[in-house]
């Protein structure tokens, strides 16, 4: 019965309800709105977190009193702003971005948000740049929102460099509805799920494309 009810409950999230809830719980201030809209103004893909997911991320970082964090996938810096705002006063975020054009936009947005001193944007593919931040750990938080085929590797890195009790959060863990497909990318993301569940206390939040949250054992 509970499973049937939970599946049925997903149909209650109408567009009108979600829009109302967004206005009440996840409204942007002027800075957040400017960063959120910057991809369409600068030719970047508008694939950042939604308002509600980003609000949850910021709330969670503040709730856990995180100080040092890593983000894989900066894009225009929207999630970086949300994380940096919530970090402890002496906290710092290391945000890794593969595309130099994206990183440039993010640095501009972070400067305009007054957060340049709290966020270091690192250019290059995360598989090669993650070792450059390892000396800054162990980390309180790792947030993944990058190439999904890399999640398997990034999850293992997070497991090795998060402190016990540290948190891993990953977006798009439904793989745009392709999680159970037979291709290599889907198989890799499934391994990410399985390995994370083995080493973290996990939950998968049913956002539009799934948000995994895991606490390092």
The whole-number pLDDT of residue 8 equals 45
How would you class 122 by CB atoms within 10 Å of its CB: exposed for 0-12, middle for 13-18, buried for 19 or more? middle
pLDDT at 12: 84
Name the token pair of 92: 């710092």
What pLDDT is attached to residue 1?
Answer: 38
Sheet holding 119-123, edge to edge: 119-123, 92-97, 68-72, 139-144, 162-171, 211-216, 200-205
Q: Please give the residue range of the domain that contains residue 110.
A: 2-216
- The count of domains in the chain is 1
User: At a CB cut-off of 8 Å and minimum separation 6, what does 20 contact?
Assistant: none
* pLDDT of res. 9: 46
Residue-by-residue DSSP string for the chain: -HHHHHHHHGGG--HHHHHHHHHHHS---HHHHHHHHHHHHHT----SPPHHHHHHHHHHHHHTT--EEEEE--TTSHHHHHHHHHS-TT-EEEEEES-HHHHHHHHHHHHHTT-TTTEEEEES-HHHHGGGGGGG-SEEEEEE-S-GGGHHHHHHHHHHHEEEEEEEEEE-TTGGGTTTSSSHHHHHHHHHHHHHHHHEEEEEE-STT-EEEEEE-
- Residue 204's pLDDT is what? 97
- CA–CA dist 213, 89 (Å, integer): 24
Q: What is the CATH classification number for the domain harbouring 6? A: 3.40.50.150
Give the residue ranges of the chain where pLDDT is below 50: 1-6, 8-9
């Amino acid at each position: 019965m509970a499973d049937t009810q939970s599946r049925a409950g997903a149909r209650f999230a109408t567009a009108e309800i979600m829009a109302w809830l967004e206005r009440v719980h996840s409204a942007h201030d002027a800075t957040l709105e400017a960063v959120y809209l910057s991809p369409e103004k600068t030719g970047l893909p508008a694939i950042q977190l939604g308002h509600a997911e980003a609000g949850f991320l910021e709330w969670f970082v503040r709730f856990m009193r995180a100080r040092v964090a890593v983000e894989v996938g900066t894009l225009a810096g929207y999630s970086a702003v949300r994380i940096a705002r919530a970090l402890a006063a002496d906290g710092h975020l290391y945000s890794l971005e593969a595309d130099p054009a994206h990183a440039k936009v993010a640095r501009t947005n972070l400067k305009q948000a007054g957060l340049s001193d709290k966020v270091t944007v690192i250019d290059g593919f995360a598989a090669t740049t993650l070792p450059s931040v390892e000396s800054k750990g162990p980390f309180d938080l790792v947030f993944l929102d990058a190439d999904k085929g890399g999640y398997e590797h990034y999850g293992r890195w997070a497991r090795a460099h998060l402190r016990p009790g540290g948190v891993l959060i990953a977006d798009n863990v439904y793989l745009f509805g392709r999680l159970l497909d037979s291709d290599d990318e889907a198989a890799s993301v499934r391994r990410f799920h399985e390995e994370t569940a083995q080493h973290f206390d996990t939950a998968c939040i049913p956002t539009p494309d799934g948000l995994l949250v895991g606490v390092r054992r």
